[in-house]
Each structure stands twice: as C-alpha cells, then as structure tokens.
Amino acid sequence: MKSLLSATLLATGAVLAMPAQAQDQPGDKVNMVIIYGEDECPPSSDDVINVCARKAESERFRIPETLRQSDAPDNVAWTQRVDRYETVGKFGALSCSPTGAGGFTGCTQALVDAAYGEKKEAPGIRFSQLIDAERQDRLSTIDAEAAAEQERVEQIEKQYEARLEAERNAPLPGEEASAPPTDLITPPSEPDSE
C-alpha cells in the first residue's frame, strides 16, 4: 500500500513538473532595432527575431524625443520663475494655501490656470485648432451650396408664378378669345310707364 501511494505521489509530481520544465526553456531572442531613412532592416536568423522601427532620416543624430524636454529647474523660463516668486507670499482667500482662512479656495483656479498654461505652450498637435479650421472649411462650402440652392428655388418659384399667371389670363374653353372682356355693366332696362 505504501509503495502504491508513493508511486502515485511520484507520478503526480512528475506530471505537475512537466509544464514548469517547458516554461524553463528559453524562447526565441528578439532584437528590437530603430532604423532611419531608407536603411534596411537586418534579416532575422534562426535563433534571433529582428523587429525594426523606422524613423525619419532627420531623427538619426538627434536626442530621443522622450529625453528632449526636461523639467529641471535650470530649464525653466525666467517669466515662470518670476511668477513663482510673486506667489510665494500669497496666503488667505483664493491662494491655494494651507495657511490662512479660506486658503483652499484658490486651488481649483490654480489647477485650471496650470492646465491652460500647459495646453498653451504644448508643442504637440493642437486638435482644437485643426477642428476649427475644418469646421470653417465645411461651413464655407455649406454656405456656398445653400446660396446656390436658394437661387435655384427662387428661380423655380418665379417660373411657377409666371405659369399660374398665364393660366389665369388664358380664356376658358368655349369663350371667345378675340373679344376682350368689358368692364362696363349694362343696367337693366326699365319698363315704360305708359
């Protein structure tokens, strides 16, 4: 019985260890390469997979884009430094300061001002300006199309009114077309009083 139990435990341990052994084997090596301009991506070999990212030729000898901007104090503009010095002594209402009564009331405004400042000086694509420009282009074509459509509708209305006027002035069937209608009314004749 002990031998059966130990054999079962040994077999279970071996079965559970098989996936772990499969995971221990190293997979293919991956080589990530950044290439510039028209450079060729090095071919992959049997044991190494080459993955290439292509960038413009103008980026070849430049500092990587993620390292170009720095928030170090040395890189802060003087106007921003002066603004910071001006706010050192601010406390009280609308100051976003832990000291003084109502110091917390200016924190939201400070966050909003900081966000707009970052947005204003951000070097990235300004989608709001692109959207506004596209809207203006679209509205200019819509206005031109609307003016052309309005002119076409007015022309159709004039033609329709001219046709109605011609139908009103046309003689009815059975009427004489040669004798124009007279506007004079003949009074009824009075009987003679003889």
Blockwise average pLDDT, block size 10, the chain, 194 residues: 59 58 63 87 80 86 77 76 66 69 76 84 63 72 84 94 90 68 66 58
- The reported pLDDT for the residue numbered 151 is 92
- The reported pLDDT for the residue numbered 164 is 92
Residue of 27, 23, 43 lying closest to 35 (CA atoms): 43
- The reported pLDDT for the residue numbered 163 is 93
Residue of 40, 43, 34 lying closest to 61 (CA atoms): 34
- The reported pLDDT for the residue numbered 69 is 75
Cβ contact 121:113 at 8 Å: no
Cα–Cα distance measured from residue 149 to residue 151, given in angstroms and rounded to the nearest whole number = 5
- The reported pLDDT for the residue numbered 114 is 86
Residue 96, helix vs strand vs coil:
coil
- The reported pLDDT for the residue numbered 42 is 87
Radius of gyration for the alpha carbons in the chain, expressed in angstroms and rounded: 45
Residue 16 half-sphere exposure toward CB, CA atoms < 13 A: 6
CA angle 132/151/161 to nearest 5° reads 150
Confidence (pTM): 0.27
- The reported pLDDT for the residue numbered 4 is 58
- The reported pLDDT for the residue numbered 78 is 78
* Amino acid of residue 138: R
- The reported pLDDT for the residue numbered 145 is 84
Query: 38 Cβ partners below 8 Å, 6+ apart?
Result: 57
